[in-house]
């Protein structure tokens, strides 16, 4: 890891013992009166010296500056995906097809899967960060995000990195990322409202929810975010900007119920026949779309959605109500036929 002192314009590489931690440095830099979102050239005084931390932990200052500036000149982004499972690979495939460079890391080893997609896999999280992706997409399970983000060596990334989460719940990651990530990095919370099954064909008209939670005002940071969400727009997605709070309120009675009904029908082991109606085909698609997702995902929707328990109860009550109506009608008919008069 290289860090540099700039003394009267000269750049001196610091010995390991003299290095400042990223967090200490961040707090000193953020006291600067200048725009705290654009820290590339913000000087700050430490022991009467002008200190400027290298932007990129592993490269010379010049190289880092070039790297930092290069992404707004090029059309493509280097996108790092943390959590290279079902959904991470689904996104990676489309990013690569659109010409972006994709690197991945995960708990398991997905070297071969990444190669098949045209991406590169780094089993070592430090190696992953030292590739200095423009964007880090967090695609781990809802339940593991806390430990994943806390164990990420953020100091090895470019300090202006854009973090994007794609979790199916939104208030939880928003609060977590704001709490854990240094304020120099940008945060964009998103939820592509489709997955590997529902989005296996065209993404035309599929909803993409996003909230720019904390994006620096400088042009390069704004452009980078635009470039990232522009990818989804270019795929035909219907772009919906809303807050994470609004998302979770709406998703409680849409997403969670969809998954619950799909899983309930899935538990019935329904089968296709030669004379399926369109309605039944839709139900079978629902079963496939929901049961192909991990149970961990469904449990995450339940655990991190404050309205989920209530929605589950409402679903149960509605089912009982429908069942009661059927049996009530049946009982009336039986009584009629049996000439039973209860009056
Ligand atoms: N599937 C969809 O349709 C869909 C749609 C929109 C958004 N999302 C969101 O995308 C994310 C990924 O979803 P998914 O469908 O791939 O399934 P998931 O079961 O929600 O997540 C699987 C991913 O989480 C990682 N993971 C699980 N437990 C972990 C742990 N203890 N420590 C570190 N990593 C762990 C897995 O890594 P390893 O494989 O390496 O173990 C894998 O990359 C979720 O947050 C989900 O809400 C999914």
**Per-residue pLDDT reduced to its tens digit, 213-269:** 999 999 999 999 999 999 999 999 999 999 999 998 888 778 999 999 999 999 999
- What pairing do the DSSP bridges indicate for beta strands 207-214 and 186-192? antiparallel
Measured in Å, residue 106 CA sits from the centre of ligand 1 at: 10
Whether residue 231 is found in the same domain as residue 87: yes
* 341 within some domain: no
Task: Report the interhelical angle of 308-337 vs 295-303 (nearest 10°).
Answer: 100
**Confidence band for 185, pLDDT divided at 50, 70 and 90:** very high
* 80 within some domain: yes
Which of 193, 227, 242 is the endpoint of a domain?
A: 242
The answer to whether 117 and 86 are in contact (CB under 8 A) is: no
Which of 35, 51, 73 is the endpoint of a domain?
A: 73
Whether residue 85 is found in the same domain as residue 107: yes
Residue 265 sits in which domain range?
A: 249-332
* 290 within some domain: yes
Whether residue 155 is found in the same domain as residue 204: yes
Q: How far apart are CA 2 and CA 57, in angstroms?
A: 6
* 135 within some domain: yes
Residue 74: its pLDDT value, please?
66
Which ligand 1 atom minimizes the distance to the CA of 148? 33
pTM, to two decimals: 0.77
Averaged pLDDT, 288-307 = 92
Whether residue 107 is found in the same domain as residue 204: yes
Whether residue 44 is found in the same domain as residue 190: no
Which ligand 1 atom minimizes the distance to the CA of 84? 43
* 88 within some domain: yes
Q: What is the pLDDT of residues 69-110, one digit of tens each?
A: 444 456 799 999 999 999 999 999 999 999 999 999 999 999
Lining residues, ligand 1, CB within 6 Å: 83-88, 106-108, 139-142, 144, 147-148, 166-168, 192, 195, 293-294, 296-297
Which of 193, 226, 242 is the endpoint of a domain?
A: 242
């Amino acid at each position: 890891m290289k860090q540099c002192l700039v003394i009267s314009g000269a750049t001196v590489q610091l010995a390991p013992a003299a290095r400042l931690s990223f967090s200490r440095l961040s707090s000193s830099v953020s006291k600067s009166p200048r725009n705290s979102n654009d820290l590339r050239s913000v000087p700050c005084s430490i022991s009467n010296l002008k200190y400027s931390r290298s932007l990129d932990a592993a490269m010379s200052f010049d190289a880092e500056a070039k790297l930092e500036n290069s992404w707004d000149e090029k059309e493509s982004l280097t996108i790092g995906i943390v959590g290279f499972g079902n959904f991470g690979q689904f996104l990676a495939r489309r990013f690569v097809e659109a010409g972006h460079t994709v690197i991945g890391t995960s708990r398991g080893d997905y070297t071969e899967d990444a190669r098949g997609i045209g991406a590169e896999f780094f089993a070592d999280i430090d190696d992953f960060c030292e590739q200095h992706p423009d964007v880090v997409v967090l695609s781990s399970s809802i339940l593991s995000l806390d430990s994943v983000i806390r164990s990420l060596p953020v100091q090895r990334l470019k300090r202006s990195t854009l973090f994007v989460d794609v979790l199916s719940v939104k208030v939880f990651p928003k609060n977590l990322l704001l709490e854990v990530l240094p304020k120099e990095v940008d945060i964009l919370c998103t939820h592509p409202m489709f997955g590997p099954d529902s989005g296996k064909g065209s993404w035309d008209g599929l909803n993409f929810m996003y909230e720019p939670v904390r994006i620096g005002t400088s042009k390069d940071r704004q452009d980078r975010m635009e470039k990232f969400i522009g990818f989804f727009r270019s795929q035909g997605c219907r772009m919906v900007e809303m807050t994470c709070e609004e998302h979770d309120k709406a998703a409680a009675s849409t997403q969670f119920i969809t998954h619950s009904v799909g899983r309930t029908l899935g538990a019935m082991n329904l089968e296709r026949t030669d004379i399926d109606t369109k309605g039944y085909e839709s139900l079978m698609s629902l079963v496939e779309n929901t049961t192909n997702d991990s149970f961990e995902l469904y449990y995450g929707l339940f655990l991190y959605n404050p309205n989920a328990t209530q929605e589950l109860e409402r679903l149960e009550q509605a089912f009982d109500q429908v069942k009661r109506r059927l049996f009530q009608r049946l009982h009336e008919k039986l009584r009629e036929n049996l000439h039973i008069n209860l009056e």
